[in-house]
Amino acid sequence: MAFNPENQACVKQPGELYELAIQTGDISADSGQYQALETLNHIHHKLIAPAQKLQPWWRRWVKQEPGAGGAYLWGEVGRGKSMMLSMFFESLPFDNKKRLHYQQFIEMIQKERHRFKGLQDPLERIGQNWAQQFRVICIDEFEVTDITDAMIMSKLLSTMFDQKITLMLTSNLQPRDLYKQGLQRERFLPAIALIEKYMEIIEVGGNRDHRRQPGMESWTNQRNLAENWLEKFGGNIIQVKGAVEIHGRKIPVRAIYQHAIWFDFYSLCATARSARDYMLLAQQYPILVCSGVPVMSEDRDDQARRFMALVDEYYDRSGRVLAELAASPDQMYQGWRLRFAFKRTASRLHAMGFET
């Protein structure tokens, strides 16, 4: 759908959607979010302004100014970064836009690299291809932890900015802390420089975790309640034990219900799984119960990453993960490498709790 500038007056900015959400009681006002909203409003205005006013012919040869490439919102977990990114995305009155979680972004890159395999510079081709499809790409929870992803990021970002794609990112980390202590980090530093050069860097401050709502109690702090929750929310039971097939591979299950599915942690996260597996589960089952989740450290980083990806997929799709944890969510990761990233997972587990 192409946007007609004559209809600009009826378009609501992200800040207006924010105020409406306050009026309806869906959220509460937080002064720590206002600077980010102001930036989002400014970028929103530039995107929907008539093209001839935005970029006269002589601007094509002028170097892109700081902030012209989008915005990077960072801050502690639960500050409302994802919510504001959603409001920004929803406020854009055109279809050539894309919003996805960082793990989904990596999956998209992998598919495109396979598609353009054999080309001399596949990353440049990927950026050109995306520019034909999207004016705006929004990526939630941007956090590079894998060396393979780190090595390609600077080239890919450079191409995206050259193609004038507006890139909107949220992260728990400020740009200079991305991929900190990662292998061959010096090769990732150009990516940080690009983010700092082309994007508005906005810290979303405050000391409130909006995901931890009063009156909400997550069963993650309780034990042996899986059957009770499934009886209450799962619907009719369809299958006891057995397996479910996901992308051609069978995963053992404890039970399958009309609206839920019940796994052991080791079946779901201790063997090779991808974000695509969890994406398909979230599409098919709104509630996922995961029993026997152990406290994790560096020796279980692969399992921790899979569990984090599982929670992210369900949270992004407004689903629920009910996890029978060995400790409270905040104490579930005792390692160093993923300690910041797991804060997001703990916060989201609290957010997905049921009223009791």
**β-strand 136-140 against 97-101: which pairing, if any?**
parallel
Average pLDDT over residues 38-52: 82
In percent, how much of the chain has pLDDT > 90?
44
**β-strand 260-264 against 255-257: which pairing, if any?**
antiparallel
How are strands ordered across the β-sheet holding 70-74?
A: 97-101, 136-140, 166-171, 70-74, 200-203
Helices 34-48 and 81-91 pack at an angle, to 10 degrees, of: 20
The model's pTM: 0.68
Q: What does the pLDDT read at residue 231?
A: 79
Helix/strand/coil for 101:
strand
Residue 6 has pLDDT above 70, yes or no: no
pLDDT, tens digit (0-9, with 9 covering 90-100), for 158-207: 999 999 999 999 998 999 999 988 889 999 999 999 999 999 999 998 66
Closest CA to 5 of 37, 49, 43, 47: 49
Average pLDDT over residues 20-41: 88
**Residues whose CB falls within 8 Å of the CB of residue 35, separated by 6 or more in sequence, listed in order:** 202, 203, 204
**Residues whose CB falls within 8 Å of the CB of residue 57, separated by 6 or more in sequence, listed in order:** none
pLDDT, tens digit (0-9, with 9 covering 90-100), for 278-326: 989 998 999 999 988 999 999 999 999 999 999 988 988 888 898 888 8
